[in-house]
Structure 1
Amino acid sequence: MSICQDKEAIDVMVEEAKSYTQYGKVADYIPALKVADPDMLSLAIYENDETCVTAGNTEETFTLQSISKVITLALALMDRGEEEVFSRVGMEPTGDPFNSIIKLETHSPSKPLNPMINAGALAVTSMIYGSSIDEKLGRLLTFIHEITGNSSIRYDDTVARSEYETANLNRSLCYYMKQHNVIDDNVEHLLELYTKQCAIEVSCKDLAKIGYVIANEGKHVQSQRPIIPLHIARILKTFMVTCGMYNASGEFAIRVGIPAKSGVSGGIMASVPYGVGIGIYGPALDDKGNSMAGMKLLESLSQRFDLSIF
């Protein structure tokens, strides 16, 4: 059965998963994220060129946060190629927290282990082509507009400023990488771009479309024109499986088995290869930084519709 043919069962799963919001906590280390409603849970599923299932307030917008790491990786790979990108960023998972500096200090060469941790994402963002912050951000937004078909997507300046003003740990990561020639950008310029990238606002429907494009070989949802080259779409899915859910990625692979990426705003984007794109928003987080209810909902969806790739 197609996942979109059982709306009634999905509605039940959403309500059951929503009860888990009480065990989570909205991210408060970024002040602008504290205002989110911890009881919210919404879902959009994109399949066969249309949004076929929605639940909750799918018009509510939220910031991409770490989900943006997948999109910037695609753009950097298209700009620079695999050889250059992976000369500066590794391909290995880590069990350390996403904002940890320890592996930079203990590994030689001192490059980030993968593009989904903060250090790796900052290095990837530094490789996006452009002569200014505005040009680089404009190219990223244009790329997202093309993928989603939604040209109204912008970044939330309040969230970006809040993140920039509290980004001291990310500053430390940048200066350490600059010392070891992983990045050569002006650190403050890079942080401004990175915080604006993380503050790009989307809805669950937008997120489901992005997930769908990555799931389906990088092809545009309507025209089937390639937006992301096939080999890059495969790289993205691989990183999503191995590193996408912070240091809960191994358990997530066993319980859910779907390429996915989360963000501390409470968003989760999932890509079922050659199948569907899923967008979830539930801002109450677990202790790893993943949406508490969103994780439970994806586990239920995977089990009900046999979505695991393993």
Structure 2
Amino acid sequence: MYCETDEDLCELVNRARKYTEYGKVANYIPALGRAEQSDLAIALYYKDGHCVKAGDVEKKFTLQSVSKVLTLALAIMDQGEEEVFRKVGMEPTGDPFNSIAKLETQIPAKPLNPMINAGALVVTNMIEGRSTHEKLGRLLTLIHDLTNNSKIDVDHGVAKSEYETAHLNRSLCYYMKQHGVITGEVEELIDLYTRQCAIQVTCIDLARIGMVLANKGRDPLSNRLILPEGIATIVKTFMVTCGMYNASGEFAIRVGIPAKSGVSGGIIGLVPPNIGVGVYGPSLNEKGNSIAGVKLLEMLSQRYQLSIF
């Protein structure tokens, strides 16, 4: 049972929008604090190319932690599964996404998973390229393929704002460099990481990426293989276990689809094998997830029985 029309989605968006007033827009990255708290949008991309959408779908926003899904896929393609998971674990954590605590108690001092900041920094450090520009270009090329949108680029204002305030991420990097988990110059890594987080998309772009993941790494229209199926499977599994920060378990029960959120208010989701989901709602709950976006997905999942469980 699927949502067939924009009008069906509009009703759910209107019901969920009231929840935006109970959250807060992220302001620890100054450029993100300029978002409109009441914005809410959703797109569903189907395997036949049909896209149903509602809300503020024209609004662009930055990937932030949604980018962790894409860099993980690229790093595994570059380095292989064994090498990536030698340096980053596979286990969920109940700690905040930017916590340093577990690094001090883990032996060896490697991050628990690729969806927390420490793990994402390790993953970004493994992307191949002779320069930050080349590494970022390879990531953008992958995103252009996944979205079929070659106009996607970095919001340089947001990237600059993030770079100037990335003190905690620098701390994570220096700690991990001390323990040999990452290599190279920390400032170059922070530069690349803040740029990857500042890649600008719409919820329609996210929905199309979700559709490729739902379709085992294949483009829904051309059937071209963009991501190896095994890598798509790994990414989707992490989305279930770790994708919604330390609210992933509750989200799995209430919504029940693989998803990954970011502090810009974006959420990418998917329902195998036929639906990709993109959500935007910058008003966040205390866990850093879009408060109205999560409620919207909960309503959608219940109405159309989308849970994979």
Q: What's the CA shift string for 1:14-72, capped at 9, x where partnerless?
A: 11100100001000000000100000001111002324211012121100000000000
Ranges of 4+ aligned residues in structure 1 off by more than 6 Å: none
Please give the alpha-carbon distance, in whole angstroms, between the structure 2 residues aligned to 1:28 and 1:276.
32
Counterpart residue type for residue 247 of structure 1: N
Please give the alpha-carbon distance, in whole angstroms, between the structure 1 residues aligned to 2:113 and 2:48.
32
> Deviation at 1:233?
0.5
Counterpart residue type for residue 166 of structure 1: T
Is the contact between residue 9 and residue 53 of structure 2 (CA under 8 Å) also seen in structure 1? no
SS in 1 for 2:37: coil
Please give the alpha-carbon distance, in whole angstroms, between the structure 1 residues aligned to 2:109 and 2:253.
30
Alignment match, 1:190: 189
Alignment match, 1:2: 2
Please give the alpha-carbon distance, in whole angstroms, between the structure 2 residues aligned to 1:86 and 1:252.
25
Check if 1:45 corresponds to 2:44: yes
TM-score (norm: length of structure 2): 0.98
User: What does 1:281-300 align with in structure 2 at a 5 Å threshold?
Assistant: 281-300=280-299
Please give the alpha-carbon distance, in whole angstroms, between the structure 1 residues aligned to 2:109 and 2:293.
34
Is the contact between residue 47 and residue 211 of structure 2 (CA under 8 Å) also seen in structure 1? no
Alignment match, 1:250: 249
Counterpart residue type for residue 239 of structure 2: M
Deviates further, 220-229 or 280-289? 220-229
Alignment match, 1:31: 30
Please give the alpha-carbon distance, in whole angstroms, between the structure 1 residues aligned to 2:5 and 2:221.
23
Please give the alpha-carbon distance, in whole angstroms, between the structure 2 residues aligned to 1:243 and 1:213.
20
Is the contact between residue 36 and residue 283 of structure 1 (CA under 8 Å) also seen in structure 2? yes
Check if 1:161 corresponds to 2:163: no
Counterpart residue type for residue 20 of structure 1: Y
Counterpart residue type for residue 233 of structure 1: A
> Deviation at 1:6?
4.8
Please give the alpha-carbon distance, in whole angstroms, between the structure 1 residues aligned to 2:236 and 2:172.
26
> Deviation at 1:157?
0.6
TM-score (norm: length of structure 1): 0.98
Check if 1:273 corresponds to 2:272: yes
In structure 2, the CA distance between the partners of 1:25 and 1:51, relative to structure 1 (3 Å rule), is farther
SS in 1 for 2:193: helix
> Deviation at 1:255?
0.5
SS in 2 for 1:248: helix
Deviates further, 50-59 or 15-24? 50-59
Is the contact between residue 44 and residue 51 of structure 1 (CA under 8 Å) also seen in structure 2? no
Counterpart residue type for residue 289 of structure 2: N
Is the contact between residue 145 and residue 151 of structure 1 (CA under 8 Å) also seen in structure 2? yes
> Deviation at 1:216?
1.0
Counterpart residue type for residue 160 of structure 1: A
Alignment match, 1:175: 174
Counterpart residue type for residue 299 of structure 1: E
Counterpart residue type for residue 101 of structure 1: I
> Deviation at 1:10?
2.2
User: What does 1:88-99 align with in structure 2 at a 5 Å threshold?
Assistant: 88-99=87-98
Q: Structure 1: where are the runs of 5+ without partners?
A: none
Please give the alpha-carbon distance, in whole angstroms, between the structure 2 residues aligned to 1:254 and 1:262.
16
> Deviation at 1:8?
3.4
Alignment match, 1:263: 262
SS in 2 for 1:59: coil
Alignment match, 1:216: 215
Please give the alpha-carbon distance, in whole angstroms, between the structure 1 residues aligned to 2:100 and 2:206.
29
Please give the alpha-carbon distance, in whole angstroms, between the structure 2 residues aligned to 1:49 and 1:294.
25
Task: Provide the alpha-carbon RMSD of the alignment.
Answer: 0.9
How many equivalent residue pairs?
Answer: 309
> Deviation at 1:144?
0.4
Is the contact between residue 6 and residue 54 of structure 2 (CA under 8 Å) also seen in structure 1? no
Please give the alpha-carbon distance, in whole angstroms, between the structure 1 residues aligned to 2:211 and 2:41.
17
Please give the alpha-carbon distance, in whole angstroms, between the structure 2 residues aligned to 1:286 and 1:57.
20
Counterpart residue type for residue 297 of structure 1: L
Alignment match, 1:241: 240
State the identity %. 67
Alignment match, 1:148: 147
Alignment match, 1:121: 120
> Deviation at 1:243?
0.2
Counterpart residue type for residue 18 of structure 1: R
> Deviation at 1:105?
0.2
